[in-house]
Amino acid sequence: AQSVTQLDSQVPVFEEAPVELRCNYSSSVSVYLFWYVQYPNQGLQLLLKYLSGSTLVKGINGFEAEFNKSQTSFHLRKPSVHISDTAEYFCAVILNSGNTPLVFGKGTRLSVIA
Amino acid sequence: NAGVTQTPKFQVLKTGQSMTLQCAQDMNHNSMYWYRQDPGMGLRLIYYSASEGTTDKGEVPNGYNVSRLNKREFSLRLESAAPSQTSVYFCASSTGLVGELFFGEGSRLTVL
């Protein structure tokens, strides 16, 4: 079965500083990878996804992630964060057959400090 | 644009009581899901329905039942609530594009 590990449960960062949220996955077969964001008191929304092609994918709000097959990682990055980026971020994986449900990591809480 | 609507948003139950969480989507999606979110545990899948008329267990189905009433509606029932079911419950639906889910705003359930 596939799974994801988010290596940091909380990440504090100063406004306008860069940030990286780490995600590693495990699977014996090919997978698709996703990042979702949850703003306070809201449901989750899709930030970006990797299905195939270029290993660097860009999402909404200036975020990007890089798929690294050899390291089984899919880290999320932003060069300069804003207060409004304060949220919980979830990495998720699904088998590339697509007929199994999405599996989420435990989340990383990003706190941007003014 | 309503998207995915969950009711109720808040509920307090006593141990042993029953209740149903309702979910409706207006996006004509085939697949629907129920997740629970607990601190430090992320989102865990309770049940899902790949299409109208089908339901399948997820990671944590014990203590829950579901009904896919029609294409729009997918309800989650707790027959005898336990304190361990205190959580935030999220309903989601899928566009059919792999991994793309639309979530409701959540239902916060407290079992005393």
Q: d(Cα B70, Cα B53) in Å, to the nearest integer?
A: 8
**Tens of pLDDT along A19-33?**
999 999 988 788 899
Mutation test of the interface with chain A: which of B98, B103, B108, choosing the one with the most A Cβ atoms within 10 A?
B98
Q: d(Cα B40, Cα B24) in Å, to the nearest integer?
A: 28
Local confidence band at B17 (pLDDT 50, 70, 90 cut-offs): very high
Local confidence band at A39 (pLDDT 50, 70, 90 cut-offs): very high
**Tens of pLDDT along B59-91?**
999 999 999 989 999 999 999 999 999 999 999
Give the β-pairing of A87-95 and A31-38.
Answer: antiparallel
Local confidence band at B1 (pLDDT 50, 70, 90 cut-offs): low
Is residue A9 over pLDDT 80? yes
Q: d(Cα A112, Cα B19) in Å, to the nearest integer?
A: 38
B contact residues 49-108, partner A, Cβ 8 Å cutoff: 50, 58, 90, 92, 98-106
**Worst-scoring range by mean pLDDT, A15-29, A79-93, A94-108, B6-20?**
A94-108
